[in-house]
Amino acid sequence: MSILDILLGKPLATSDERGEQVGVSAGIPIFGLDALSSAAYGPEAALTLLIPLGLAGVAYIVPISASIIVLLTIVYFSYRQTIAAYPGGGGSYTVASENLGTFPGLLAAAALMLDYILTAAVGISAGVGALVSAVPTLEPHTLSLCLGILALITLVNLRGVREAGIVFILPTYLFVGTLLLTIAVGLSKTVLAGGHPAPVVPPPAPLPAATAVVGLWLLLQVFSNGCTAMTGVEAVSNGVRAFREPTVNTAQRALTVIIGLLIVLLAGIAYLVRAYGIAAPDPGQPGYQSVLSMLVAAVAGRGWFYYVTIGSVLVILSLSANTAFADFPRLCRAVAQNNFLPHAFGFRGRRLVYTEGILVLAALAAVLLMLFGGVTDRLIPLYAIGAFLAFTLSQAGMVAHWKRVGGSGAGHSMFVNGLGAVATGITLLVVLVAKFTQGAWVSALLIVAMLSAMLWVRRHYGRVAEETQSSAPLAVVKPHAPIVIVPIQDWDRIAQNALEFALTLSAEVTAVHVAMEDEDRHLQREWGRMVEAPVTRAGIVPPKLVVLPSPYRLVALPICDYVLKVEAENPGRQIAVIVPELVERHWYHYPLHNKRAEILKWFILLKGNERIVLINVPWYIKA
C-alpha cells in the first residue's frame, strides 16, 4: 500500500477532518479559480460581438460591464444570504429542492453537473489551446497535454482539499496580482494622460468601419456573452463545509474576496479597453491575439512582465477545471444522500474527499477530451445554460425561502433575490434562444436525460428499501440443518476438507461429480472405501455420490441445474452448496488454475434464491 501512500498521502481519520478544512486564503484558489479565470474570457466574449460596430462598439463595453457587475453584486448578496441560511452547504441543488420542491432541485443539480463536467474539459483544453498557440511545436501533443493536466488535477484533488488549495495558491495569486498591477498602472497612465494614454505597444488590428447599428438584440447577446464571466460564482456556497470554523463566516469572507476581485478585474479591464481603444479581433483571422494580451502589451510593453502575466493566464485557465473537481463531488454527495444517485458518491476516501465523484468527473472529462481530440471550443455554447439555470433556480428558491421565513428584512432580501432571479432568468432565455441551434439543444437533452436517470435511481432505492426494511424482531424457527451439496472434481485434500466441513453441518450431505466422457472412474470406484466406510463406522449417515453427465464438457451448469432441482424438490428447506476452492497466494499463479469454483459460485448466486446458501471452503496452496 506504500505506493498509494506516496501518490495520495497517508489515510486521514474521520476525526482529522478539522485539519483538512481551509481558511480564506486557501479557499480562494479552490472555490474561486473558475470565477476569477472567467475575467480572462468574459470581456473578450462580449467584445467579439461588438466587432461589427467598429470603434464605436468598444465604448459599449463599459455600460455592459457595469450591468454585469450590477448583476454580479446582486448574485453576491444572494449567495451571502444562502451561505448563512445553509451552513451545511447551500448549493443551487439544496436551496432549490428545499424551497421549490424535489423536481426543481434535481433540475438545478443536473444543470450544475453538466456545467461542471464541461468546465473541467473546456477549462483544460482552453489552457492547453493557449499554450499550444504560444508554442506551436506542442500542437501534435494537444490531447496528451490535456489528459496529463487532467490526471494531475485529479491526483491533487484525491490528496485532499487542503493540498489542492496549497498547490493552486501560487498561480492564482500570480494571476490576480499581475492583472491588478496592470490595471493600476494603466489607470494611473490614463489619468495622467487626461483620459487618452499612449499605448507602449499599440493594439495591432486596425478597427474596421462600422457595418451594423446598435440594436437591443445585439446588446442582449453581448450582455449574455459577457455573463460567461459569472460562471463559477456558485462554487463557494456549495462547499461551505470545507471551510474552517466559524464556517459561515470564513466562507462568506472567501466569497466576498472572490467577487470583489472579479468586479475589480472586470471594471478595470473594461475601462482600460475603452481608454486604449482595444477591439477584439476576429479569432478566425491570422495574427489573432487575445484582448488581455493586447491590453497588457499596451500598458506595460512586451517585457518579462508581459510574459509572466500571460503565462499565469494560461495556467489559471487550465487549472480553472479544479473548481469543478472541488464542487462536483460535493454536489453528487448531496444528491446521493437523497437517494437520487448511487450511494457510493457519499463515501469519503482515505483523504476525506468524495473519491467516487472525483473519479467519475475525471472519467467523463477524459471522455469529452478524447472525443474532441483536446479541442473542446465547440462545447462552450453548451455550458452557459447549466450555470444560468442553476443561478435562476437557486435565487428563485431563496425568494421562496424568505417568503416562508418571513420576519423583518425578509421583504428586502426577497427583492434582491427576486431581482437576481429575473435577471439571470432573462439571460438564460437569451442564451437558450441565441445558441439553441449552436448546441444548446444538446444541453437541454442531456439535462432531461440526467433528470430521468436520477428519478430512476431514486425509484430503485425506494423499492429496495421497501423490500428489505424490517422493524420486526428475529423470527426464531426451530434450527433445522440445511441440505448440503458438495461439488467434487477429484479425490484430493481440497475435496476431503470440504466434505469434512459438510459433515459438521448436516446429516444430509450429497457429493456431486461431473463426469467427462473420457475420464477414468476413479472417484466412483473409490467412494465406498474412501468415504462411505469410515463415515458409517463413525455412526453417521454417509454422504451419497451423484454423478452428472456433461455431453458439452460444461461443469458449472450441470451442478447449478442439480442444485435447483434439489431446491425445487425440497420446498421450505435451506440448501447449502459447499464450494471447495483452491486459493493461490500469488497473483502470478492465477492463470495456472481453473476458475470453475468461481464460475460455479457466480452461476448459483445468479440463478439461485434466498433458500440457497453458498459456502466457500478454501484450500490454500503454499507452493
Residues 553-582 contacting a second copy, CB under 8 A: 553, 574, 576, 581-582
Cell numbers that stand for 92 in this block:
443551487
Work out how close the CB of 583 gets to a second copy at its nearest, in angstroms, rounded to a whole number.
Answer: 6
Binding mask 11-40 for a second copy (x = CB under 8 A): xxxxx-------------------------
Sign (positive/negative) of CA torsion 496, 497, 501, 504? Answer: positive
Binding-site member from 169, 200, 214, 505 for a second copy (CB under 8 A): 505
Residues binding a second copy: what is the number (CB under 8 A)? 87
Cα-Cα-Cα-Cα dihedral sign, residues 357, 362, 367, 368: positive
Name, in order, each residue with C-beta under 8 angstroms of 108's C-beta and a sequence gap of 6 or more: 91, 92, 93, 95, 96, 97, 389, 390, 393, 394
Other beta carbons less than 10 A from residue 568's beta carbon: 8
The footprint of a second copy on residues 524-543 (CB under 8 A) is: 529-531, 533-535, 537-538, 540
Q: Is 619 in the site for a second copy (CB under 8 A)?
A: yes
Q: Tell me if 501 contacts a second copy by CB under 8 A.
A: yes
In the complex, what is the shortest distance from the CB of residue 102 to a second copy, in angstroms, rounded to a whole number? 19
Q: How many CA atoms lie within 13 A of 149 on its CB side?
A: 28
Shortest distance in whole angstroms from residue 144 CB to a second copy: 19
Looking at residues 289 to 348 of the shown chain, list those that interact with a second copy (rule: CB under 8 A): 342-344, 347-348
603 interacts with a second copy by CB under 8 A: no
Classify residue 283 as exposed, middle or buried by CB count within 10 Å of its CB (0-12, 13-18, 19+).
exposed
Q: H or E stretch including 562? A: helix 556-569
DSSP notation for 230-283: GTTTTHHHHTGGGBPSSHHHHHHHHHHHHHHHHHHHHHHHHHHHHHHT--PPPT
**Segment interacting with a second copy, rule: CB under 8 A, options 262-270, 385-393, 400-408, 604-612:** 604-612
Pick the closer one to a second copy by CB: 343 or 544: 343
Q: Does 266 bind a second copy (CB under 8 A)?
A: no
Stretch of residues binding a second copy (CB under 8 A), selected from 208-216, 224-232, 439-447, 499-507: 499-507
Among the listed residues 137, 504, 520, 569, the single contact to a second copy using CB under 8 A: 504
Residue type, 113: M
Contacting residue, 3, 215, 520, 622, with a second copy by CB under 8 A:
622
Binding mask 344-383 for a second copy (x = CB under 8 A): x--xx-x---------------------------------
| Chain-centroid distance, C-alpha 196 | 48
Nearer to a second copy, 245 or 467 (CB): 467
Half-sphere exposure of 90 (CA within 13 A, CB side): 24
Query: Site residues for a second copy, window 438-497 (CB under 8 A)?
Result: 457, 460-461, 463-464, 466-477, 479-482, 491-494, 496-497
Q: Does 409 bind a second copy (CB under 8 A)?
A: no
Q: Closer to a second copy at the Cβ: 438 or 594? A: 594
288/491 with CB nearer a second copy: 491
59/273 Cα distance (integer angstroms) = 9
Own/partner pairs, 187-191, CB within 8 angstroms, 24+ separation: 187/268, 187/271, 187/272, 189/299, 190/271, 190/272, 190/275
Least distance to a second copy from the beta carbon of 462, Å?
8
Which C-beta is closer to a second copy: that of 304 or that of 552?
552
Measuring CA to CA, which residue among 178, 111, 160, 497 is closest to residue 315?
178
